[in-house]
DNA sequence: GCTCCAATATGAATGGTGTTCACATAGCTT
DNA sequence: AAGCTATGTGAACACCATTCATATTGGAGC
């Protein structure tokens, strides 16, 4: 793990910049990240990164894509347990919330760095892939595509809302004791709803 | 509505800066906002605002508080319809989603400007007040405080998640047709869950 | 093994930003 | 009318993103 004594050429500046960026975000929040400081951390001049990223935004986008890939991997792992689809979907929900908890740096860049995702179709595609994990499970629970879509979206929005508000301290700030444990109860309540509705209609 | 021909003293720079900030956020997104440009918009030197705001962050915080107050007002209005509590809570949910839609500038500053709310208890307090609107309704639906808390939190996180993802284009990007109409279906599904569970237990 | 090119790094320069500070102006109280 | 205080100005500083001319070097092809 010893650093190679580099001269002039860095060797792998691209990933070094991404690592430095994530470290800075961890230390100072998504707003405190600075290209210049990341360059300094990587031990390189401020203009060097422009050989690897068109922009500051381009670096952030790279991180968002990395985050979406990681998220999808973790959601997929959660969905691969041996259990009925309802429990799998619950696991996916919990994995989403847990992702925000365990990768606050990635999550912050993904959702608080202020990049306008509408302008970057690649980001939309990669986050849609992650959403697909939930959608597939929902289709195994709900009969009609419409209600499956609704169930997947409900799980997704609840997970994302909980994760976001939790990261911001909004949930802790509301003063109820066991915010942590209630994440699961939330999803369970919703999943029971999905069942009771579809079964009632059958 | 004619502007007074001002000289030297502005008269109401504080609200003028807030207005200018919101206008810039509307035009260029939460990241495009700049103290200098807002000062220019308000027709004042760049150092003048420092008589009213300690910081750039202080101006943003002021806007977040304004946003929370507006949100609370609108949620309260939604809860004041004549209807059973379940329908009221549904209305509150829809009002939250609608708030993000109708005040994208406020919503962006509240949740995308990158201020660390954990450091500002006033913000937590004001958003907790807005949450209270949902909590009160949930208490009229669920018998035990615990499940009422869970219901309120479920509605809240789903509303926030839907609003956030919708603003970012993530929901549109997933490719399902009527994303707009499904917001209501989501909440309905959840509210039926709350009912079926509590009634089953009674 | 040498040559040369493409990839990658440097450093200086530019225009913009947040913030501070000494100083200027004017509204209000007395 | 006088003067205090709130509010404004302009210049200054350090930092930031980005660009450009220039320097270095790893490696492909000979």
DSSP letters, B109-160, are HHHHS---GGG-HHHHHHHHHHHHHHHHHHHHH-SSHHHHHHHHHHHHHHHH
Rounded CA–C1' distance between A14 and C26, in angstroms: 57
* Averaged pLDDT for residues A145-171: 93
Bridge partners of A9, per DSSP, are: A7
C-alpha distances in Å from residue A114, one per residue of A10, A61, A94, A105: 30, 11, 25, 14
pLDDT band, very low/low/confident/very high, at A1 (cuts 50, 70, 90): very low
Q: How many residues appear in chain B?
A: 202
Whole-angstrom Cα distance, residue A201 to residue A1? Answer: 61
Can you give the pLDDT at residue B185? 86
Question: Beta carbon of B185 within 7 Å of strand D?
Answer: no
Q: Closest residue by Cα to the C1' atom of nucleotide D24?
A: A8
> Which is more confidently placed, A37 or A116?
A37
Res. A162: pLDDT tops 60: yes
* Averaged pLDDT for residues B174-188: 78
pLDDT band, very low/low/confident/very high, at B93 (cuts 50, 70, 90): very high
Give the residue from B185, B161, B72 showing the smallest Cα distance to B123.
B72
> Which is more confidently placed, B41 or B200?
B41
Angle, to 10 degrees, between the axis of helix A13-28 and the axis of helix A35-42? 120
pLDDT band, very low/low/confident/very high, at A8 (cuts 50, 70, 90): low
> Which is more confidently placed, B53 or B169?
B53
Q: Report pLDDT digits (tens) over B35-91.
A: 999 999 999 999 999 999 999 999 999 999 999 999 999 999 999 999 999 999 999
Q: Report pLDDT digits (tens) over B95-154.
A: 999 999 999 999 999 999 888 888 899 999 999 999 999 999 999 999 899 889 899 999
Whole-angstrom Cα distance, residue B168 to residue B100? Answer: 11
Name the token pair of B127: 């958003």
Angle, to 10 degrees, between the axis of helix B104-112 and the axis of helix B13-28? 90
Poorest-pLDDT segment among A20-29, A85-94, A168-177, B130-139: A168-177
Closest residue in B to A31 (Cα–Cα)? B114
CB A161 within 8 A of CB B165: no
CB B18 within 8 A of CB B35: no
Mean pLDDT score of chain A, rounded to an integer? 89
Q: Which range, A3-7, A24-28, A68-72, A122-126, is most confident?
A: A68-72
DSSP percent split of chain A into helix, strand, coil, nearest 5 = 75, 0, 25
Whole-angstrom Cα distance, residue A190 to residue B187? Answer: 10
A67 touches chain B (CB under 8 A): no
Collect all residues with Cβ–Cβ distance below 8 Å to B198 and sequence separation of at least 6: B141, B142, B143, B147
CB contact under 8 A, B153 and A170: no
- φ, ψ of residue B83 in degrees (nearest 5): -170, 165
Element (H, E) at A128: helix A121-141
CB B171 within 8 A of CB B165: yes
Res. A200: pLDDT tops 50: no
A173 touches chain B (CB under 8 A): yes
Within residues 20-79 of protein chain B, the ones with CB less than 7 A from nucleic strand D are 44-48, 51-52
Can you give the pLDDT at residue B196? 47
Mean pLDDT score of chain B, rounded to an integer? 88
pTM of the model: 0.92
The C-alpha of A127 sits at a distance from chain B's nearest C-alpha, in angstroms, of 7
Can you give the pLDDT at residue B31? 86
Q: Report pLDDT digits (tens) over A68-91.
A: 999 999 999 999 999 999 999 999
Helix, coil or strand: residue A7: strand
Collect all residues with Cβ–Cβ distance below 8 Å to B100 and sequence separation of at least 6: B107, B163, B164, B166, B167
* Averaged pLDDT for residues A124-131: 94
CB A116 within 8 A of CB A163: no
Closest residue in A to B127 (Cα–Cα)? A170
Whole-angstrom Cα distance, residue B40 to residue A83? Answer: 61
Name the token pair of B180: 């707009």
CB B75 within 8 A of CB B96: yes
Collect all residues with Cβ–Cβ distance below 8 Å to A22 and sequence separation of at least 6: A63, A105, A106, A109
């Amino acid at each position: 793990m010893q650093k190679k004594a580099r001269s002039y050429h860095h060797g792998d500046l691209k990933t070094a910049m991404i690592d430095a960026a994530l470290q800075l975000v961890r230390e100072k929040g998504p707003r405190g990240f600075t290209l210049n400081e990341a360059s300094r951390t990587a031990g390189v001049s401020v203009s060097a990164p422009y050989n690897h990223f068109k922009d500051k935004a381009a670096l952030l986008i790279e991180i968002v894509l990395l985050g979406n890939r990681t998220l999808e991997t973790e959601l997929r792992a959660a969905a691969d347990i041996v259990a009925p689809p309802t429990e799998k979907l619950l696991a996916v929900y919990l994995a989403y919330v847990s992702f925000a908890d365990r990768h606050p740096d990635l999550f912050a860049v993904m959702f608080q760095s202020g990049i306008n995702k509408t302008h970057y179709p690649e980001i939309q595609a990669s986050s849609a892939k992650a959403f697909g994990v939930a959608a597939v499970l929902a289709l195994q629970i709900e009969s009609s595509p419409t209600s499956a879509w609704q169930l997947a979206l409900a799980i997704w929005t609840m997970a994302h809302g909980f994760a976001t508000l939790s990261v911001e301290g909004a949930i802790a700030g509301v003063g109820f004791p066991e915010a942590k444990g209630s994440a699961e109860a939330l999803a369970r309540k919703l999943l029971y709803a999905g069942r009771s509705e579809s079964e009632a209609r059958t």
